[in-house]
Structure formats: C-alpha cells, structure tokens
Amino acid sequence: MTIQTKMKIRRSGNQAEILVLVNHPMESGNRVDKKNNNRIPAHYIESISFKINGSDIADASLGPGVASNPMTGIVLNKVKPGDLVSVHWSDNKGMHGMAEHTIT
C-alpha cells in the first residue's frame, strides 16, 4: 500500500500557511466489513511533525477518531525564500511518510 503525502504552501510576506494532506484510510478498528462481517483492523496516523530547515516546529498526535485522508495545517511566521519545510508522519502499523517543500 502506497500512501501519498501532499504539501501546499501559501506565502504572504514573511508568513506562510502550510497544509498537508495524507491519503490514509484512518480506520478506527470499530467498523465491520459488510461483505464478510469481519472487523476492519485499526489503521491510523499516530503522529505528524513539522520541521523548518531541520528544526522541529510543531508536533501533533492523531488517532482513530480522525477522518480518512486528514489535512493538517500550521501557520509559520518569519519565513523567507529558501527555507525548507518538511513534514513526517507515522501510523500504528509502522508505516510512515514525508513531504518537503522549499519556500519560494
């Protein structure tokens, strides 16, 4: 299973809004497959972290109550062209992903 991570940056002056979309099923473990009546195993993002130029700037804990394909966003102040923004996530099954973007 490949899980895509997309990042979009909207910059205005020295401020930037960072939006991250992770195409992830975010299964709670409480749903039942209607075809075979088996419980669908839990599969959800546990943590997501943001960095700028390699330094941690924000961390979030997610869980089974978050809807599929979650979008997470933060606003950064004092950004400048050339700054490298990266996001990393990991889920309860050991999967992980990342995206990075240079501010223009």
**3-class state of residue 29 by DSSP:** coil
pLDDT for residue 57: 96
Using the predicted structure, report yes or no on whether residue 84 has a pLDDT greater than 90: yes
State the pTM of this model.
Answer: 0.91
The pLDDT tens digits of the residues spanning 34-80 come to: 999 999 999 999 999 999 999 999 999 999 999 999 999 999 999 99
* Domains of the chain: residue spans and CATH: 5-30+39-102 (2.60.40.10)
The DSSP H or E segment spanning 71 is strand 71-77
How far apart are the C-alpha atoms of 34 and 102, rounded to whole Å? Answer: 44
The pLDDT tens digits of the residues spanning 10-23 come to: 999 999 999 999 99
Angle formed at CA 59 by CA 87 and CA 42, multiple of 5 degrees: 85
pLDDT for residue 52: 97
